Amino acid sequence: MDLHALLRLVHITGFAAWFGTIFASMFVLKTLEPGMTGDEGHAKEYKALLMRFIGLETKVADVAVVSVLVSGLLLAQFYHGWTLWAAVKIVLLILQIALTMGYIVKRIQPIAYPCDTARYASWYRLFAISFTMFGIVLAVTFFFL
C-alpha cells in the first residue's frame, strides 16, 4: 500500500471513528436520561457511569480528531495541494471543534444531576450541532471537492 492510500485510510477511518463516538454518546445519554432526570440516588450512580463513559469517549474522539487533522494536512501538503477547498475543509473542521467545545463549556458542564428534562435536552442540542457540522463537512467534501 502506498503512502497516499494509507493517509486516505487513516483520514477516513479517523473521521468515521469521530462520528461514531458522537453517535455512541447520543445513545448512551438517551439510555441514561431516566436516571439522570429522576431521583438523586439513581442520578449519583448514573453520573459516575456517565463521567467514566465521557472520559473514555473523549480519549477515542481526541485520537480520531488528531488523526483526521494530521492526515488531512499531510494529504494536502503532499498529494492534493493547498487549494481553496482544502482551506474550506480546514476551516469547517476547526469551526466544528470550536462550536462543540464552546457549547460543552457553556451549556453542558454547568448541568448538575439530577436535573429536569428541559435542562438535560442541552445534550441533544449538542448532538444537533455536531451532526449538522458533520453533514456540512461531508457535503462539502463529496459534492464540492
Contacts of 50 (CB under 8 A, 6+ apart): 28, 29, 32, 36
Stated pTM of the model:
0.90
How many helices (DSSP H) and strands (DSSP E) are in the chain? 5, 0
Cis ω for the linkage preceding 114 (within 30 of 0): yes
Using 50 as the pLDDT threshold, list the residues of the chain that sit under it: none
Model pLDDT, residue 7:
96
CA distance linking residue 44 with residue 115, whole number of Å: 12
Model pLDDT, residue 130:
96
Output the CA torsion sign for 60, 62, 63, 65.
Answer: positive
